[in-house]
């Protein structure tokens, strides 16, 4: 870490720093030079609050929950600050206090508490939008179930399907029902002006699966027809922009698909359909073949079988307009029945996650393009499993509710069935219990291979 900061009274040292999708946690040691006393301080730094706007309220709730987990009974008061110390600061303080009040009270008085704050410091919760965001954050926070489990508890405990309890009363079912309830509310706030415009309607496979204006992928190149593609940006646990989730390209949007791959410098495509249907236009080349989509030339350099149900193609994309080259690895999953919401293999998506991670360790960290026919049904399941495993590796815990909610806010049709929610639970558990150690070693080897063969 950097050299410590020394003042006449204190020595301040940064011990560690951990990056998450929307915030950073720093561990700081504060030493009193004269009294020889030392204290450890946690700094939670929210980094994605937009200027003159409000953040995603669920992200703010997740930030607050992480903060709460590290606070102990003997801690002193929480120090909260922003630029002026009233708007963002007031919003977080009100959220903290009112969530605490909501644990024991049937009714919370948001207006009354903000008034009390303003009597002590003027303009706390400064804007109307911040006041609205506070209400929405409380809606998310008060509905948030106790869904967090440590990795140890997760792998050692039995699933909630206890035989004496009806299936619709299990923990998993209760969580999913809450997800459906809050998803129905938040979906109404999404706007689809661009997706529903006359010039873009024919670029959508399904008018019920559209990118919201706030989360859509925007194209900037002249290669594309305008700037629209039916694709959304999704975060993971660690990365603010981890996935570009999109439908299979239509005949007239294939150029838009490859423009997106090029503009966002993606080195990885995850395709959750093994082949295109009879009525579909192939958008990737077969082995040793070339596909021309002006101004792109896409060449298949090699194809390998990574697992029984996973194939990987190395593609070279040449943009003749900008005279630039780009290498992309296309991972394809087979053995997934057309009418099924889950794969036939219990651990195939877990294996796919670590194959992708190993490949990306040696590549440019552009977002992963994830695609299936409708851009939702299969994509959501992969992103949920991938983000869950990323969190397990970072924090050694799992929160399936929080991870699913984070995805559904951006595309409500993701993880739309109870089967997919339960599948994630059982698949990750099975992977960790039966294959985790051996695969850790295997993917360390895969990573070394990729680094030696860029």
Mean pLDDT of all residues in 19-45: 94
278 pLDDT band (50/70/90 cuts)?
low
pTM confidence score: 0.92
Closest CA to 186 of 413, 419, 418: 413
169 pLDDT band (50/70/90 cuts)?
low
Per DSSP (E only), the strands in 202-355 are 216-218, 228-234, 243-247, 268-271, 290-293, 296-307, 310-319, 324-333
Topology annotation, domain 177-451: 3.90.190
Residue ranges covered by each domain of the chain? 5-143, 177-451
Distance CA 431, CA 425 (A): 10
Mean pLDDT of all residues in 210-230: 89
The pLDDT of residue 449 is above 50: no
Distance CA 392, CA 148 (A): 11
Give the model's pLDDT for residue 162.
37
Tell me the Ramachandran region of residue 85: left when phi exceeds 0, alpha when psi lies from -120 to 50, beta otherwise: left
Mean pLDDT of all residues in 224-232: 88
Cα maximum dimension of the chain: 78
**Mean per-residue pLDDT of the chain:** 91
Looking at the domain covering 5-143, what would its CATH class be?
alpha beta
434 pLDDT band (50/70/90 cuts)?
confident
Question: How many angstroms from the chain centroid is the CA of residue 354?
Answer: 16
3-class state of residue 198 by DSSP: coil
The pLDDT of residue 160 is above 50: no
8 pLDDT band (50/70/90 cuts)?
very high
288 pLDDT band (50/70/90 cuts)?
confident
**Which residue is associated with the tokens 């922009």?**
241
437 pLDDT band (50/70/90 cuts)?
low
Give the model's pLDDT for residue 51.
86
Q: Do domains 5-143 and 177-451 have the same CATH topology?
A: yes
Distance CA 443, CA 438 (A): 9
Give the model's pLDDT for residue 307.
86
Spatial neighbors of 175 by CB under 8 A, at least 6 apart, are 145, 147, 400, 401, 421
Q: How many CA atoms lie within 13 A of 5 on its CB side?
A: 6
Give the model's pLDDT for residue 281.
80
């Amino acid at each position: 870490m950097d050299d410590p900061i020394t003042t006449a009274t204190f020595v301040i040292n940064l011990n560690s720093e951990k990056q998450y999708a929307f915030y950073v946690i720093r561990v700081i040691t504060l030493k009193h030079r004269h009294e020889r006393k030392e204290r450890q301080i946690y700094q939670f730094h929210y980094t994605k609050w937009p200027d003159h706007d409000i953040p995603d309220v669920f992200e703010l709730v997740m930030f607050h929950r992480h903060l709460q987990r590290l606070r102990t009974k003997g801690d002193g008061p929480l120090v909260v600050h922003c630029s002026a110390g009233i708007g963002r600061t007031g919003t977080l303080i009100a959220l903290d206090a009112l969530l605490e009040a909501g644990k024991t009270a049937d009714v919370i008085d948001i207006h009354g508490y903000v008034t009390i704050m303003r009597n002590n410091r003027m303009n706390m919760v400064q804007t109307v939008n911040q006041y609205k965001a506070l209400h929405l954050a409380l809606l998310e926070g008060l509905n948030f179930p106790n869904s967090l489990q440590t990795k140890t508890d997760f792998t050692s405990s039995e699933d909630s399907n206890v035989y004496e309890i009806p299936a619709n009363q299990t923990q998993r079912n209760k969580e999913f029902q809450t997800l459906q309830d809050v998803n129905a509310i938040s979906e109404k706030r999404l706007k689809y002006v661009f997706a529903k415009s006359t010039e873009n309607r024919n670029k959508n496979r399904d008018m019920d699966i559209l990118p919201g204006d706030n989360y859509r992928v925007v194209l900037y190149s002249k290669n594309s027809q305008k700037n629209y593609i039916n694709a959304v940006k999704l975060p993971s646990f660690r990365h603010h922009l981890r996935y570009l989730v999109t439908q299979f390209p239509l005949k007239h949007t294939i150029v838009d698909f490859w423009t997106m791959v090029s503009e966002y410098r993606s080195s990885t495509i995850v395709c959750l359909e093994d082949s295109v249907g009879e009525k579909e236009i192939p958008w990737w080349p077969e082995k040793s073949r070339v596909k021309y989509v002006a101004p792109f030339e896409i060449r298949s350099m090699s194809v390998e079988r990574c697992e029984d149900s996973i194939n990987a193609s190395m593609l070279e994309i040449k943009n003749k307009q900008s005279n630039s080259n780009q290498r992309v690895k296309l991972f394809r999953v087979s053995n997934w029945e057309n009418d099924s919401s889950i794969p036939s293999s219990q651990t195939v998506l877990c294996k796919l996650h670590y194959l992708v991670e190993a490949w990306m360790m040696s590549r440019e960290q552009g977002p992963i393009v994830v695609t299936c026919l409708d851009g939702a049904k299969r994509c959501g399941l992969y992103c949920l499993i991938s983000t869950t495993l990323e969190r397990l590796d970072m924090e050694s815990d799992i929160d399936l509710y929080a991870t699913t909610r984070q995805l559904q806010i951006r595309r409500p049709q993701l993880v739309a069935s109870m089967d997919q929610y339960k599948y994630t639970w059982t698949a990750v558990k099975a992977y960790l219990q039966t294959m985790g150690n051996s695969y850790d070693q295997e993917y360390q080897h895969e990573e070394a291979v990729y680094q030696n063969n860029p």
